[in-house]
């Protein structure tokens, strides 16, 4: 009996399927042995992969070795200390682990009442942000459940209140600028101003100083008022232009009607 032959079209199908599989599996994950091996492990060794996949870090190419060290390209020596593997960071080493990339936050944190109590009852970055499933930061991170683990909520509540008001203003100005942009009317200056104010605002928290948050929020609110006034002016001008436009159209319609009636009068 002759061996079964794969027909030409079958072979094409195999090749196509193979190519498809290659393109579906992200290239980075293929060569990242930490993700590969841990992804197939059960329990607490596999879970980090599932959580990490949902994080802002996975989306920005920050892999396991950025926090744990090691060599993600070498399956057999990946976790060898000689390849820089550090294992699970101790509580006191967490801020510097994260702060390698989040330099400004590390500085604010270390100078704060929280940083000064590091290893002595204070929180670490992970207390508030989590470790593997880290999401984009928001004021929701300030909540009774997290903040009352160690002290009363009162100071946290005051900070959150001051920050929420400013956050609301930033969001509303941003929406209005986006609308003007669609109409081709927003200026670069306004956008840049808001961008700067927002950046300053987001560095307020880690000092955890209630008075500083309040006074800085007030200062940022002043800047936002200036931007708001600029937007008001453009929106007003646009409204006037629209009204003038409608008046002109109504006028033209009236004139047309008038001449038509006039024509009718002469026809008779
Ligand atoms: C071939 C499989 C494999 C690869 C590749 C691998 N790991 Fe692991 N890893 C394990 C196993 C199994 C354990 C649990 C037993 C142990 O600690 O050796 C573990 C444990 C760990 C731990 C916990 C250690 C502790 O002290 O509890 C961390 C953190 C870790 N791995 C990170 C990494 C990082 C980062 C990489 C890539 C640079 C990596 N692993 C690559 C299999 C792997
Ligand atoms: C942004 C930094 C960061 C990244 C990225 C990260 N880890 Fe971790 N991981 C940590 C920190 C911090 C801890 C210790 C958490 C704590 O003390 O609460 C930890 C703990 C662990 C542990 C110990 C869990 C346990 O229950 O004992 C394992 C295993 C681990 N990580 C594996 C991984 C793997 C695999 C990846 C990649 C998929 C990864 N980590 C990515 C920061 C990170
Ligand atoms: C290798 C560099 C690196 C390390 C280490 C690292 N991060 Fe990040 N982190 C990034 C990048 C890149 C982003 C995405 C861009 C951005 O938002 O800044 C990000 C985003 C974040 C965000 C969301 C920022 C936002 O705009 O809302 C938080 C929160 C965060 N990281 C916390 C941590 C914590 C906590 C650790 C330590 C457990 C850590 N990071 C370790 C690089 C790093
Ligand atoms: C006590 C809780 C808490 C601790 C501890 C904490 N954070 Fe945050 N972090 C927050 C809150 C709340 C925000 C959101 C502030 C906002 O929306 O303006 C934030 C925002 C951020 C952001 C995004 C804003 C920015 O400035 O880029 C990053 C990145 C970040 N934290 C990283 C860290 C790192 C790294 C550490 C440790 C050195 C840390 N955080 C410690 C609560 C905390
Ligand atoms: C792991 C424990 C822990 C957690 C969780 C924690 N804190 Fe703290 N916090 C401390 C310690 C310790 C101090 C210093 C002693 C004190 O003032 O109570 C402190 C002080 C403060 C202060 C006063 C700072 C000053 O200079 O007077 C504020 C504000 C604060 N925390 C806000 C928060 C907020 C907001 C959260 C939640 C997002 C939070 N803390 C979560 C431990 C913690």
Per-residue pLDDT of the chain (268 residues; tens, 9 = 90+): 444 454 555 555 544 444 444 444 554 445 799 999 999 999 999 999 999 999 999 999 999 999 999 999 999 999 999 999 999 999 999 999 999 999 999 999 999 999 999 999 999 999 999 999 999 999 999 999 999 999 999 999 999 999 999 999 999 999 999 999 898 887 888 899 999 999 999 889 999 999 999 999 999 999 999 999 999 999 898 889 888 888 888 888 888 887 788 777 666 5
pLDDT in tens, 139-178: 999 999 999 999 999 999 999 999 999 999 999 999 999 9
pLDDT in tens, 175-214: 999 999 898 887 888 899 999 999 999 889 999 999 999 9
To test ligand 2's pocket by mutation, which of 64, 95, 96, 137 has the most ligand atoms within 8 angstroms of CB?
A: 64
Ligand 1 atom closest to the CA of 87, numbered from 1: 29
Q: Per DSSP, which regions of 106-262 are E strands?
A: none
Q: What is the pLDDT of residue 263?
A: 75
Q: List, as own/partner pairs, every contact residues 215-222 make where C-beta atoms lie below 8 angstroms and the sequence separation is at least 24, other chains included.
A: 217/162, 217/163, 217/165, 217/166, 220/166, 221/165, 221/166, 221/169
Does 189 map to a domain? yes
**Burial of 217 per CB tally in 10 Å (0-12, 13-18, 19+):** buried
Binding site membership of 155 for ligand 4 (Cβ less than 6 Å): no
Does 58 map to a domain? no
Does 231 map to a domain? yes
Q: What is the pLDDT of residue 186?
A: 77
Does 156 map to a domain? yes
Q: Return the residue whose CA atom lies nearest to atom 37 of ligand 2.
A: 64
Does 217 map to a domain? yes
Does 73 map to a domain? no
Domain that includes residue 215, residue range: 142-243
Lookup: tokens for 9: 């079209």
Q: How far is it, in rounded angstroms, from Cα 200 to Cα 101?
A: 18
What total of structural domains would you count in the chain?
1
Does 213 map to a domain? yes
Three-class SS of 100-111: CCCHHHHHHHHH
**H/E element holding 17?**
helix 8-24
Q: Return the residue whose CA atom lies nearest to atom 42 of ligand 3.
A: 101
């Amino acid at each position: 009996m002759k061996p079964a032959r794969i027909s030409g079209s079958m072979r094409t199908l195999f090749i196509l399927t193979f190519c498809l599989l290659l393109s579906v599996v992200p290239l980075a994950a293929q060569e990242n042995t930490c993700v590969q091996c841990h992804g197939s492990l059960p329990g607490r060794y596999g879970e980090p992969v599932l959580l990490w996949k949902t994080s802002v870090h996975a989306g920005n190419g920050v892999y396991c070795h950025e926090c744990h060290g090691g060599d993600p390209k070498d399956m057999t020596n990946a976790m060898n200390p000689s390849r820089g593997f550090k294992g699970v960071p101790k509580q006191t080493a967490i801020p510097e682990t994260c702060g390698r990339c989040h330099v400004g936050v590390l500085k604010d944190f270390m100078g704060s009442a929280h940083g000064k109590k590091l290893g002595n009852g204070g929180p670490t970055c992970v207390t508030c942000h989590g470790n593997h499933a880290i999401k984009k930061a928001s004021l929701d991170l300030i909540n009774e459940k997290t903040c009352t683990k160690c002290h009363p909520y009162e100071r946290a509540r005051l900070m959150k209140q001051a920050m929420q008001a400013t956050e609301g203003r930033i969001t509303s100005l941003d929406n209005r600028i986006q609308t003007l942009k669609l109409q081709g009317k927003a200026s670069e200056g306004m956008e840049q101003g808001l961008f700067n104010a927002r950046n300053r605002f987001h560095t307020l928290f880690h000092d955890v100083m209630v008075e500083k948050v309040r006074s800085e929020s007030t200062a940022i609110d002043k800047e936002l008022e200036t931007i708001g006034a600029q937007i008001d002016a453009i929106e007003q001008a646009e409204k006037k232009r629209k009204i003038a436009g409608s008046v002109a159209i109504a006028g033209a319609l009236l004139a047309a009607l008038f001449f038509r009636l006039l024509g009718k009068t002469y026809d008779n």
